[in-house]
Structure 1
Amino acid sequence: MLSDNLFKFSSNIDILFLISFSLFSHFSLILISSFSRILGFFNTDFNLSHIGVSIFKADIHLDQIS
């Protein structure tokens, strides 16, 4: 009788642990993906502005040649 109650208690703890672990992993994946999207957006924005500056410098250089 006592062992049955301990088994039920331990199985409930296992189930709670699995649920909490799955929720934690789910939210951590959401946070990681949102941070990577934010960083990717800034990185893309930086790359586009860098390309724009390079084109602008090349345009000035071509104007100076001609």
Structure 2
Amino acid sequence: MTRPSAKEIKAMADVAGVPVDNEVAARIANSIGPAFEGFAPIAGTLPFDLEPATFLLMHAPKVAK
């Protein structure tokens, strides 16, 4: 988990259909960067990080037939 650059933000926004200019992409990168740095020490250690789509499935009660 690394701090995203303005270039990466711009590319992700374009793919999502929300085009932004370079200045806005730089502001977004600067504002979310500290969050990425704060979570870096625990990135990949949480069960939810492994596969978000199966997290709830694995924690749901099993039904016997």
Whether these two folds match at TM > 0.5 is no
- Relative to the length of structure 2, the TM-score reads 0.28
Select the structure of larger CA radius of gyration: 1
Query: Hey, which of these two has a bigger chunk of helix by percent?
Result: 1
